[in-house]
Amino acid sequence: MRKLFTILFLFLSLIVSADKWYIATAANGGSDTDGDGSIAYPWLTLKHATDTVTGANFVGDTITIGAGTFTETAQIIWDENVYIIGVIGYPLTSIIESNYADTTLIKAESVDGTDGDQSISYIRFDGDALTGSTALEIVGRSNVIVHHCEFEDFLYAGVIFRGDTEWGPPDIYATGNEFHHNKIINCSGCYFQGTYYVHLGNLMIGGQGDILIYNDTIISEDRGVNLWGFPIKFSGGGYNMGVKIYDSHLICPEKNGSDWSFAIELFDSRGGVEIMRNTCQGTIDFSANSSGTTNDAGGFGYAVKVYDNYVYYPTGTSDYVVGIDFERSSAGGCYIYRNHVYNFGVGFSTNVAATETMEDMYVSYNKFEDCGRNSSTFAYGFAIGGGSGTFDNINILNNVVEGRLASSPTDGIRFNCSTATHVKISNNIVTDFLNGYSISILGIINGINVENNITYNCGSLSDIDTTSATLTTDVIENNQFAVNPLFLYTNDFHLQATSPAIDAGVDVELTEDYEGNIVPFNGIPDIGAYEYGSYIIIPGSEGTQFGTGTGNNLMVDKNGRIIIIQ
């Protein structure tokens, strides 16, 4: 019992020892000359507070920023184990304005692997019309949480998380970092380096072991050609693992000149990366540095999962822009499922060089809607390969791939490689590609299955083109050409009760459709993104689902509709 009391006493002592320090505007008594940081005599600037609240004597202390605008003119060094918090509530009233144009305003840098054990919250950071360079940079630290903050109008970047002080794969990954319930607007820039432009990010991450990024709004604003960056981008070469980006709203401007329109750009991912339930204006892109790869070096059982996202492009008037894109080599399992990709030149693309390889790719139960561009000849639903590279175990399953009839899209699904093995294109519905083939196969392929697909409204080229391919061990069968799939509504892609897609698929060992309904419903899977029968829809009641019978389970699907699982 005495030992228990001793432990409790020590624990309470640690809590009591943590102090609070205060900052206030001059009108509210703040002074770096006369203040002592107490609530009665607060300091005036965050820099003075962080210069004072540093070292072993201040572990666990909190710097509290009062209401008002605080102008900072020099770099702020934020020590580990110190918390910074503004006035809780919205709109945010604790405002840090940066007049510091040199590098990062708040720098939190330690030896790699340091436990930061700290957070910063409820503060609005103002870059003073792009005067400030970068708002916040966290380097070498774990367990740092940035939440309920706003960052606006910084020139190059809003927030940077770096697990390592050096470029390249980190020796020690940062772990336990979080970025959530924040808003970043117009904090990503671009600069010219040698022969190309480098786009930065509002939020940049590198060397992170398990960072959580969620419930954020991140917006890149159009600053002109080659002057803006992306909502989320890699830092220090990338090399992240265990990243979770979810429930966020990310907006990148439309492609302008040689710019790219990436909502998320990650390089050299090392496994366990999940991007889920986001709304993204712009591309979700995975790539790598020279001789790099997206893989599962971290041993998560998969390299990348991208699911339940709405990825869209605003106008559809620009040239080549991709919805979900994989560049360079990848291995270890990339899973792309239950996404709605809308209004891109190409819905899904991979692009590898002649010496690069792509393995274990699974693209299933997605909706690729309105693929194609008015001003581009490079317009596909899927563009796999780009004519080079080696592919193995590529699976394109149960997707709806729709072209834009008003434009001139070419092929619906185009697989164009140097060499490939174990390719499966099954249970897809491909419609409205007027000037190409519904499915086009090019390259040397040993082992390809093109089965149980439906094509419709693809002009005179609704069939499968293999004239530029050398195929061995191929199975091309049970496809329905120029057959109306009978969608329930235009651009809805649920199936009518008389659809030829019902019970017409092949078993590809998938168990849930686009809405998470059970597959198969009647012993045989359907073709397309929705499994008919797991839901019952009364035609004419668009947006509402009903069910009949006894012993059924009601549920609400991802679109907020009530369905019955029979």
Residue-wise pLDDT tens digits, 18-77: 899 999 999 999 999 999 999 999 999 999 999 999 999 999 999 999 999 999 999 999
pLDDT band at 480 (very low <50, low <70, confident <90, very high): very high
> Which backbone phi and psi does 232 adopt, to 5 degrees?
-125, 130
> How confident is the model at residue 254, as a pLDDT?
87
pLDDT category, 1, cuts 50, 70, 90? very low
Residue 439, pLDDT above cutoff 70: yes
Would you place residue 536 in the very low, low, confident or very high pLDDT band (cuts 50, 70, 90)? Answer: low
Q: Which long-range contacts (CB under 8 A, 24 or more apart) does 77-80 make?
A: 77/50, 77/51, 77/107, 77/108, 78/50, 78/106, 78/107, 78/108, 78/118, 78/120, 79/50, 79/53, 79/54, 79/55, 79/108, 80/108, 80/110, 80/114, 80/115, 80/116, 80/117, 80/118, 80/141
What is the pLDDT at residue 335?
98
The per-residue pLDDT for range 204-234, each reduced to its tens digit, is: 999 999 999 999 999 999 988 888 899 999 9
Task: Confirm if 350 and 377 have CB atoms less than 8 A apart.
Answer: no
Distances (CA, A) of 116 to 14, 82, 339, 542: 17, 8, 36, 52
- What three-state secondary structure class fits 397? strand
Sequence-separated (6 or more) residues with CB below 8 Å from residue 228: 188, 189, 190, 199, 220, 221, 222, 253, 259
Domain segments of the chain as ranges: 20-256, 268-483, 495-566
Asked whether residue 537 carries a pLDDT value surpassing 70, the answer given is: no
Q: Please identify which residue in the block is written with the tokens 């080229």.
A: 461
State whether the Cα torsion 474-479-482-487 is positive or negative. Answer: negative
The predicted model scores a pTM of 0.91
Q: Does residue 91 have a cis peptide bond before it, meaning omega lies within 30 degrees of 0?
A: yes
Paired residues of 151 in beta bridges? 125, 184
Contact between 371 and 345 under an 8 Å Cβ cutoff? The reply is yes
Are 175 and 298 a contacting pair, CB within 8 Å?
no
Name which of 237-251, 271-285, 413-427, 523-537 the model is least confident about. Answer: 523-537
Backbone angles phi, psi at 286, to 5 degrees: -120, 130
Percent of the chain with pLDDT over 90: 72
Question: Is residue 521 over pLDDT 50?
Answer: yes
Angle at 234 between CA 131 and CA 360, to 5 degrees: 160
pLDDT at 10: 39
Do the Cβ atoms of 331 and 365 come closer than 8 Å?
no
Class of the domain covering 20-256:
mainly beta
